[in-house]
Structure 1
Amino acid sequence: MADPFRLRALLGDDAGLCRRAITGEHGVSLPPFIDHHVHLHLIDESGLAAHGIAGVVDLGGDPLTLARRARRGIPLVTYAGAFLTAAGGYPVGRSWAPDGIVREISSASQHAGAAGGAATAVDEQASFGASVVKVVLNSVAGPVLDAETLAVIAATARSRGLPVVAHTEGEGMPQLALDAGAAALAHTPFTELVGRKLVAHAVAAGQVWISTLAIHRDDPEAAENARLNLAGFAAAGGRVLYGTDLGNGELPVGVNADEIEALGRAGVTGAALIAAMSDPWPLDAPPPGVSTFVPGTPPETLDDIARWLAGATVVPTEELIHDEH
């Protein structure tokens, strides 16, 4: 019989031995998992729940299409709506980014309704039910929003109760996002080593970083930069969120073992890993009425966890009968 004390030592106090009432399968229950960085228009989402993902945060899609989704059901979807970027900035013109998912901001106007204005772009996403606002700061691929425009975006989003999440790519871009008050980074910084000072400021500001480490599988330098940056951020007490950038290349629709292993190499393991995977951000509460269930024998070591978690599924919480021992 599996040892519940060993299980909690490996995965934290939220892990519990249980069985499914309907199938009789024995396994482990965990809080519902969330992928904090996906693009639903690029994937077939039908397999998400069956493969362990109860909620997703769409960080770049057509706001009208997203607004038309049912508000209930699993996976629970929160979203940013369109990418907000500088005129001619990334991802304008990319084959995977149709016009409907990008808003080019040409003015720092704070007046609602001003064409191309920063406030107008934020107001539009809010009107379509966005839970976050996504800005793009990619100096490698084109022009980026200036500090004045970012300040208007941040102030308008704040007035709407929406956090700003920034895609940062290129030297100095994480600092620009931090200075602008971005509440989250859509990717762990990967084009440079950000240094202890920026990490300390990010942690003090309560900024959260979405991992997306495994997308750098073909770029060793970016992978190592991201690993070191996230390791420093996590060690300093930073709030790490599990996210895969699902839709970016050939990634599994569901729990991604490669992402979990990469998080482990950055020091995010055990209870910290489960916290990163089940954090309800940007919401205050997790998807209701469901749990993560991993059938079979629990892992024996930290090295076993990633592939074991890849067998997770989402089930109604009421279906799980917990071991009393």
Structure 2
Amino acid sequence: MSHAADHRPVSEPAEGIELGPLAELARRSLNGDHPGEIGTMLPPLIDHHVHLMIVGVHALADTAIAGVVDLGAPLELLTEQRSHDGLPHVEFAGTFLTAPGGYPVGRPWAAPGCAREIPVAPRDGRGSLPDPAETAVSEQQAFGASVVKVALNAAAGPVFDRATLDAVVAAAHERGMPVVAHVEGEGMTRLAIEAGVDALAHTPFTERVDDDLVARAVAAEQRWISTLFVTSYGEPAPEREMALDNLRRFHGAGGRVLYGTDLGNGDQPLGVNPAELALLAEAGLGASDVLAAICDPWPLVERDDAVATFVTGPSPTTIDGLADWLASACIVPAEDLEAL
């Protein structure tokens, strides 16, 4: 949901936190449920990394999440979703595109058909037929995908050589589709950045991304989807500390962070995950940064203006209170809210 730049932000007590321009003081319509209730209006909340093939296409229907980005599912799921016109709105990546025998092929959680293996194509320079990368990307788009996902997991099997990855990225960009990469293992973040991948499905958690490479990612306007909670499910772990350090420096250098949970991976709440929000704050994001991460419409450009997020009651006074406050949100028709 778009808000005009001259709308007043939510008033904060002197000791409170600044929620930024996306938050507005609002009152619910006298004609709807909870007439006249005062609270905070926000744009729709988006989880930028979910797997509906694991949790089910309707799992988030009664939550505060208005939109999701499904980052890996059989193409049949895209066909099924077309008949579902309720919330959340779903943007799909389609299948994982991976090297022969690469991740997530053979993983017990990977539903049949959720991975498409792309062989290295002979490059004779004649260009008479589409190469396998172009064919695979075209297939995702034909089924309704708006994002292309590649698996670059050197810790779990083969990965694309640079030429094949370049071919996938080029084919996607020719069709106006951003590319998001699962990066895991030594050198995989560099490979994704140098190949022009648009977003990382996870904050890198298996290698330290040096400052020069962070700067290159920021300069390329790459986005990093957070998924901090699933590095250790709330427990102290080297992977969590690695991810926090990488994201802290990426954000500090001006990088765009997207809220994402990898829902379907382990035990997580349906809807907003307060633990993920708390870890974003631990990585150095302020309240307005956290809201920007969870309200970013990516991969879409425009926000859905038909619905809004509403959080009743006073806004949080500390960054520590932000996660639970936001987890209490609900979705309402935008027309039922009046900005104050």
TM-score by length of 2: 0.89
Q: Structure 1 stretches (4+) deviating beyond 4 angstroms?
A: 109-114
Q: CA deviation at 1:51?
A: 2.5
CA deviation map 1:44-65 (0-9, x unaligned): 4545353311100000001232
- Please state how far the C-alpha of 1:113 moved relative to its aligned partner: 5.9
Residues 100 and 47 (structure 1), Cα distance of their counterparts in 2 relative to 1, 3 Å cut: closer
- Within 5 Å, give how 1:56-205 maps onto structure 2: 56-70=68-82, 72-108=85-121, 117-205=132-220
Which residue in the other structure is 2:66 paired with? 54
Aligned to 1:261: 278
Structure 2 Cα separation of the partners of residues 65 and 271 of structure 1: 35
Quick check: 1:51–1:310 contact (8 Å CA) kept in 2?
no
Structure 1: unaligned runs, 5 residues or longer: none
Deviation at 1:298, TM superposition (A): 1.8
Write the deviation string for residues 200-259 of structure 1: whole angstroms up to 9, x where unpaired. 000011111000001022461010000000010001000110000011011111011000
CA distance in 1, matches of 2:301, 2:51: 22
Question: Which of 197-206 and 25-34 deviates more?
Answer: 25-34
Stretches of structure 2 lacking an aligned partner (at least 5 in a row)? 1-8
> Using the alignment, how far apart are the partners of 1:223 and 1:121 within structure 2?
34
Cα deviation for residue 98 of structure 1 reads 2.2
* Residue 235 (1) aligns with residue 268 (2): no
1:165 to 1:61, Cα distance in 2 relative to 1, 3 A: same
In structure 2, the residue corresponding to 1:5 is in which secondary structure?
coil
3-state SS of paired residue (1:64): helix
Query: Please, which of 6, 13, 33 is the counterpart of residue 12 of structure 2?
Result: 6
Quick one: which amino acid aligns to residue 6 of structure 1?
E
Structure 1 residues 102 and 112: CA distance shift in structure 2, 3 A: farther
Matched, 1:225 2:242: yes
What is the Cα deviation at residue 108 of structure 1? 3.3
RMSD over aligned Cα atoms: 1.9
Q: Which residue of 2 aligns with 1:276?
A: 293
Does structure 2 retain, via aligned residues, the 8 Å contact 1:10–1:301?
no
TM-score (norm 1): 0.93
In 2, distance between residues paired with 1:112 and 1:242?
A: 39
**Aligned residue in 1 for 2:3:** none
Q: Which amino acid aligns with 2:326?
A: L
SS of equivalent to 2:18 = helix
Alignment counterpart, residue 26 of structure 2, candidates 18, 24, 27: 18
Higher helix share: 1
**Preserved contact between residue 83 and residue 101 of structure 1 (Cα < 8 Å):** yes
Between the aligned residues of both structures, percent identity stands at 52
CA distance in 1, matches of 2:174, 2:253: 30
Q: Which amino acid aligns with 2:321?
A: D
Q: Which residue of 1 aligns with 2:4?
A: none
Q: Is the 8 A contact 2:51 2:264 kept in 1?
A: yes
- Of 40, 45, 49, 1:28 maps to 40
Aligned positions, number: 319
Aligned partners of 1:130, 1:288: CA distance in 2, in Å? 22
